[in-house]
């Protein structure tokens, strides 16, 4: 039978940094005392039994005595500290038997879910499962049939470090190096924005547009590709489509190139370094791109400080910031895109909350574009994707991007 111990430790500054909220994984001394003296902080003592009780297991008991001891103890599971007034911290940890027999996958998941919840981490159960699956080298779905399995000590140690960093709001995708998007797995690093499920609406709308046109040989430009998730997902949906994917970041291009190759699309997605529309003309089709899609930066400089900690502190600023009003890149698209699109070509852009009319005004102001579509990513949410179209003109046929070769076509220029 394991037990839940409450540890009081001193030595913290009155205003600790995020990292100082955590004590070492194996504290040397344990201080035990009357439970009432800890004020039953709800962040530390779970209010619901299911926060600490895995299926089929008994609820761990509190060890509370009046004596203060300095007996060295080994903590086999995760241990975390919360600051207290007066420069002390409370550590919540679960002690198992010396052979670690009680640290099953089920107990680790349930304990971690409660702790991540107390730290304000979104989707704590999912986060716990992703981290543990990564630590034990399994798929997440495999955990459901292995609740009673006991990970190796090295795997528990790896998991503990991942959870510690997750508690500091390090994005889960960066910790495990991957993120699912459009039912596909993508490599992600801190050099790229983490793919969001909301952006799947952009892929859906572009794929549907291509299907409704009923023609083959589409040429698309993914402006600001980041991880390459939009280009890859779209090419998977439309097997006759080719895509130029550009990004200002060389590190992002490398990630996108690996993702394109991973999904067998190195011959259909070409990566190129570009700051906006500053690309070599020979990368364009002879008569222009059929469509341009972009999820550009759209956060106003003054709003950056109000982003969630995981976004503000860890995701690349260059993929977020878009000038004083957040509209810098939409102005660039309105000015430059007509030069690169064929007559009748389309532009699909993702936008931020409250930007619908502002972006529509920017792209239609001089008459180059007409507004052609508006979509939300879910009922009741804000408008997520806008479509615009150039005036239509007759076009006898489609061409492919000149000079594209299967071998090495996904290498950044």
Per-residue pLDDT of the chain (413 residues; tens, 9 = 90+): 443 333 333 333 333 322 222 223 333 333 333 322 223 332 232 333 333 333 333 333 333 333 333 333 333 344 444 443 444 443 445 444 434 457 899 999 999 999 999 999 999 999 999 999 999 999 999 999 998 999 999 999 999 999 999 999 999 999 999 999 999 999 999 999 999 999 999 999 999 999 998 777 899 999 999 999 999 999 999 999 999 999 999 999 999 999 999 999 999 999 999 999 999 899 999 889 999 999 999 999 999 999 999 999 999 999 999 999 999 999 999 999 999 999 999 999 999 999 999 999 999 998 889 999 999 988 778 999 999 999 886 444 434 344 444 333 443 33
Neighbours of 47 (CB within 10 A): 9
In sequence order, what are the residues at sequence separation of 6 or more whose Cβ sits closer than 8 angstroms to the Cβ of residue 86? Answer: none
The answer to whether the beta carbons of residues 262 and 233 sit under 8 Å apart is no
Is the alpha carbon torsion for 369, 371, 373, 379 positive or negative?
positive
Kind and range of the H or E run holding 234: helix 229-237
In sequence order, what are the residues at sequence separation of 6 or more whose Cβ sits closer than 8 angstroms to the Cβ of residue 70? Answer: 29, 30, 31
The answer to whether the beta carbons of residues 255 and 195 sit under 8 Å apart is no
Query: Which residue intervals of the chain bear CATH 3.40.50.150?
Result: 190-389
Please state, in angstroms and rounded to a whole number, the distance separating the CA atoms of residues 169 and 90. 20
Contacts 24+ apart (CB under 8 A), 214-217: 215/398, 216/240, 216/398, 217/242, 217/398, 217/399, 217/400
Strands (E), 38-162: 61-62, 79-84, 88-95
**Taking the mean position of all CA atoms in its chain, how far away is CA 70?**
43
Neighbours of 393 (CB within 10 A): 8
In sequence order, what are the residues at sequence separation of 6 or more whose Cβ sits closer than 8 angstroms to the Cβ of residue 362? Answer: 327, 330, 331, 334
In sequence order, what are the residues at sequence separation of 6 or more whose Cβ sits closer than 8 angstroms to the Cβ of residue 253? Answer: 225, 247, 271, 272, 273, 412
The length of the chain is 413
- Supply the CATH classification number for the domain 190-389: 3.40.50.150
Q: How many degrees, rounded to 5, is the angle at CA 207 between CA 183 and CA 231? A: 60
Is the alpha carbon torsion for 116, 117, 118, 119 positive or negative?
positive
The answer to whether the beta carbons of residues 297 and 349 sit under 8 Å apart is no
């Amino acid at each position: 039978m394991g037990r839940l111990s409450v540890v009081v430790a001193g030595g913290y500054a009155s205003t600790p940094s995020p990292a100082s909220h955590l004590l070492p994984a194996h504290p040397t001394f344990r201080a035990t005392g009357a439970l009432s003296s800890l004020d039953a902080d709800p962040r530390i003592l779970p209010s619901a039994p299911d926060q600490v009780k895995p299926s089929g297991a008994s609820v761990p008991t509190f060890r509370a005595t009046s004596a203060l001891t300095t007996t060295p103890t080994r903590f086999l599971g995760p241990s975390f500290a919360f600051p207290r007034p007066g420069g002390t911290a409370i550590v919540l940890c679960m002690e198992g038997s010396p052979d670690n027999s009680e640290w099953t996958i089920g107990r680790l998941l349930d304990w971690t879910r409660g702790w991540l919840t107390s730290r304000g981490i979104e989707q704590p159960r999912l986060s716990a499962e992703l981290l543990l699956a990564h630590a034990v080298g399994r798929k997440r779905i495999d955990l459901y049939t292995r609740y009673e399995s006991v990970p190796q000590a090295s795997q528990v140690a790896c998991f503990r470090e991942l959870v510690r960093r997750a508690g500091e709001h390090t994005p889960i995708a960066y910790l495990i190096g991957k993120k699912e998007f459009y039912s596909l797995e993508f490599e992600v690093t801190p050099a790229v924005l983490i793919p969001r499920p909301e952006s799947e609406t952009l892929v859906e709308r572009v794929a549907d547009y291509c299907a409704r046109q009923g023609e083959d040989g589409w040429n698309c430009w993914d402006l600001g590709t980041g991880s390459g998730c939009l280009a890859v997902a779209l090419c998977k949906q439309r097997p006759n489509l080719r895509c130029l994917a550009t990004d200002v970041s060389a590190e992002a291009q490398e990630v996108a190139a690996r993702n394109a190759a991973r999904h067998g699309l190195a011959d259909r997605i070409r990566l190129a370094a570009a700051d906006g529309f500053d690309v070599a003309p020979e990368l364009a089709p002879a008569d222009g791109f059929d469509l341009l899609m972009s999820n550009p930066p759209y956060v106003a400089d003054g709003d950056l400080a109000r982003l969630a900690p995981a976004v503000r502190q860890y995701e690349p600023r260059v993929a977020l910031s878009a000038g004083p009003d957040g509209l810098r890149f939409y102005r660039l698209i309105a000015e430059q895109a007509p030069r690169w699109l064929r007559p009748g070509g389309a532009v699909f852009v993702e936008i931020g909350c409250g930007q619908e009319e502002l972006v529509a005004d920017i792209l239609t102001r001089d008459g180059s574009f007409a507004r052609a579509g508006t979509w939300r990513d879910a009922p009741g949410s804000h408008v997520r994707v806008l479509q615009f179209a150039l005036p239509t003109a007759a076009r006898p046929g489609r061409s492919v991007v000149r000079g594209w070769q299967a071998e090495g076509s996904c290498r950044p220029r």
